[in-house]
Amino acid sequence: MKRNLQLDFLRFLGVALVVVHHVPFHDSTAFGAVISFIQTGGWIGVDLFFMLSGYLIATLIIKEYQANGSFNIRLFLIRRGFKIYPAYYFLLIYQFWYSANIAKHHQSLTRFFHEFFFIANYTKNNNGHLWSISVEEHFYVLLAIAFVLMIKFKKVNFKTMLVLYLVLLTVAVSCRTYNYFTYGNYDFDRDYTRSHLRFDAMFFGVLIAFLANYRKAFMQRLKAYKYKPVIFVLCILFLLTNFIYGRWDHPWQGMISLSLNPICFGYIMVCMLDYHNPRFLHIIKPLAYIGTYSYSIYLFHIHFLGLALKLYPYGKPVFYISYIVFALIGGIIVSKCIEYPFLKIRERYFPNRYKKPKRELATLTPTS
């Protein structure tokens, strides 16, 4: 299936924000100030990933249902496994080996198994950024079960998904608010990494997919809305507040922003999907190419940060640049060597069940 440049560009934006966010410190130079600014709010790249994931996966499921009148949950989970597991488990095994043989700092078997079975985001036994993969896995299962039930009860429609999204949104905001007023602080593990506190971000993407397929007239009105540019700018301005205040400085950032960020990203995505300026598409094409490898870049970028720290003095522009270059190129190599061969096997032995998309759907959905 033909890929969508706008969506792959958003993938690039998400992984670029996360890569810079994980630079450990910043310096007082002008270049360091720029890095520091991006670092402060770069965590919202995960919110963007979550929303995109919800939209893309839901669109694939909807297409299968529309083409066949049914949804094969077994095939869905197998295909997701071929996408997620090879590079992920390779990383886990490599980390375990590296910690024992190179770093001489043995990683506990407990942490290894918590990550292996995707429960690390509830146990604090994780390698930092891998908590989000656990959230993704839990989301796949929840969405698949929800869709099976919607089919069984003949409720595959926008209204049903809207109700589910509002329930998840209420749960997330209520729990984070309760935690803050109970404990008096914002805690990363307690408030940021738990699946039930992040599902609303993914299901907003799902909601957009349902809107595009089951409320097409409303979607067209949304795209043609005369104040769309104003709302677009307001969404960007709100997202920029995360780069000013950060995640830890203001309670509302931890309680509300985690749910509003995906909504802003969702509106931006809808606007970008409807924007086909040839010059713009030409400019973003190389960045979109990098975005196609965002998953492996995300998985392995921390290791390339360690490599940059060993090779170059911290705080110098060459360190920042080398880290970003290592992360991007290294992630692409991992994708080509590990991720993509398994995707070829997937397409050969477990092909999707939906028919070749019409032109309208082809512009909305890349291969995932």
pLDDT in tens, 126-173: 667 999 999 999 999 999 999 999 999 999 999 999 999 999 999 999
Q: Assign 8 a pLDDT band (cuts: 50, 70, 90).
A: very high
Q: What is the rounded average pLDDT of the residues 248-275?
A: 88
Domain boundaries, the chain: 5-362
Provide the CA 141 distance to its chain's centre, in angstroms.
16
Is the predicted pLDDT of residue 1 greater than 70, yes or no? no
Q: Assign 361 a pLDDT band (cuts: 50, 70, 90).
A: very low
Is the predicted pLDDT of residue 74 greater than 90, yes or no? yes
Q: Assign 43 a pLDDT band (cuts: 50, 70, 90).
A: very high
Distance CA 171, CA 168 (A): 5
Q: What is the rounded average pLDDT of the residues 346-365?
A: 65
Is the predicted pLDDT of residue 31 greater than 90, yes or no? no
pLDDT of residue 366: 37
pLDDT of residue 354: 80
Residue holding tokens 């870049």?
297
Higher pLDDT: 184 or 334? It is 334
Mean per-residue pLDDT over the chain, rounded: 91
CB-based contact 357:1 (threshold 8 Å): yes
Q: Assign 87 a pLDDT band (cuts: 50, 70, 90).
A: very high
User: Greatest CA span in the chain, whole angstroms?
Assistant: 61
Q: What is the rounded average pLDDT of the residues 335-357?
A: 90
Higher pLDDT: 172 or 250? It is 172
Q: Assign 263 a pLDDT band (cuts: 50, 70, 90).
A: very high
How much of the chain exceeds pLDDT 70, in percent? 93
DSSP track, 151-187? HHTT--SHHHHHHHHHHHHHHHHHHHHHHHHHHSS--
Q: Assign 253 a pLDDT band (cuts: 50, 70, 90).
A: confident
Q: What is the rounded average pLDDT of the residues 341-347?
A: 97
Higher pLDDT: 81 or 359? It is 81
Please tell me the number of Cα atoms within 13 Å of 97 on its side-chain side: 6
Higher pLDDT: 359 or 348? It is 348
Instruction: Output helix, strand, coil percentages for the chain, rounded to the nearest 5.
Output: 75, 0, 25
pLDDT of residue 147: 98
